[in-house]
Amino acid sequence: MNILVTGGAGFIGSHFIESLLTTYPKDRVYNLDALTYAAHPDTVEYLQKLFPDRYAFLRGDIATVDIRSLLKEKKIDAIVNFAAESHVDRSILEPDAFVRTNVVGAENLVRQAREVGEIRFVHVSTDEVYGSLGKTDPKSIESNHLDPNSPYAASKAAADLLLLACARTYNQDISITRCTNNYGPFQFPEKLLPLLIANALENKSIPVYGDGMQVRDWIFVKDHCRGIDAVLRKGKAGEIYNISADEEKPNLEVIKTVLTLLGKPHSLITHVGDRPAHDRRYGLDATKISRELGWKPVYTFEQGIQATIDWYLRNETWWKKVRDKSYYKYYEENYAKKFAKTPEVTV
């Protein structure tokens, strides 16, 4: 297959490209990425060295780029769309940027794919579109109504609905995946686990929103990539597939587990004011993808978190360089000042 991957310089996208080209020696990948703050330019060079004849990088913004010539000339069989603004904190401050990339960008891609011809389209979405679950609620299934609580989640839900409408209205070959919290090597340290590991290694404070008992469903990035590939190869048009390793854990438990594995004191934990409209629990039921496409996770949380920690220990230069990028200045100047002024929570 000839595949266009958008957002392939990001955390999950770069893992997907490496997995795909390693598994399928005849596939070719064209990686389209705008190289915004959360992208990893080092991974572009890394993938080019690994697959010099089957990988090509193209810089572009999915909201404005014209890909029709590329789709025709390279005879693209499928598009896998990872490109997105994805951090909830930033979406609270700048929702317009999330609408632009996540909604307008998705529409721009799928419209051009439709104009060119028979091109499969796989859109990578999120469990956050379902909204928050109660403590005893069953896990979210694909037919649940959407109830997003953040501008980020709302933008992803809007894109999902738009793409499903295109599948029905224009008979386009479009599938959607919705996944739980990813973790693993190369993750940008605005996310919980890499920020936690980096801070712990330098004996810095670990900020925890509220009481830290928000429950998230965790999956190792390599398992997620295998799930997306299963949908790309075998998924049905117009269908949604949840991808989950069934590893629900409170954030505070995850943080304490990592600190213990690193031999760091739990006293590094600092409770700060909670995020506005912070979802209490996510959990996905992945029965459909398992039953219909034969996908199942390989990594337990214990295996995945140890592999992640080991990678960060071996790659200190990488995460220190990435950590110093603009997000941290942005966080301190904007989010920390606006939303972390409420009283600290004690447990």
**Is 128 annotated in the active site?**
yes
Got the DSSP string for 227-281?
Answer: HHHHHHHHPPTT-EEEE----EEEHHHHHHHHHHHHT--GGGEEEEPPPTT---B
Question: H or E stretch including 218?
Answer: strand 215-220
Q: Would you give the end-to-end CA distance of the chain in angstroms?
A: 53
Burial of 324 (0-12, 13-18, 19+ CB in 10 A): exposed
Map residue 53 onto helix, strand or coil: coil
- Return the amino acid letter for 291: R
Report the distance separating Cα 195 and Cα 178, nearest Å.
Answer: 24
Query: Catalytic pick from 152, 241, 312, 327?
Result: 152
Report the distance separating Cα 234 and Cα 223, nearest Å.
Answer: 16
Report the distance separating Cα 1 and Cα 77, nearest Å.
Answer: 6
**Is 152 annotated in the active site?**
yes
**Is 274 annotated in the active site?**
no
Query: Catalytic pick from 18, 27, 85, 128?
Result: 128
Query: Catalytic pick from 127, 160, 223, 279?
Result: 127
Catalytic residues: 127-128, 152
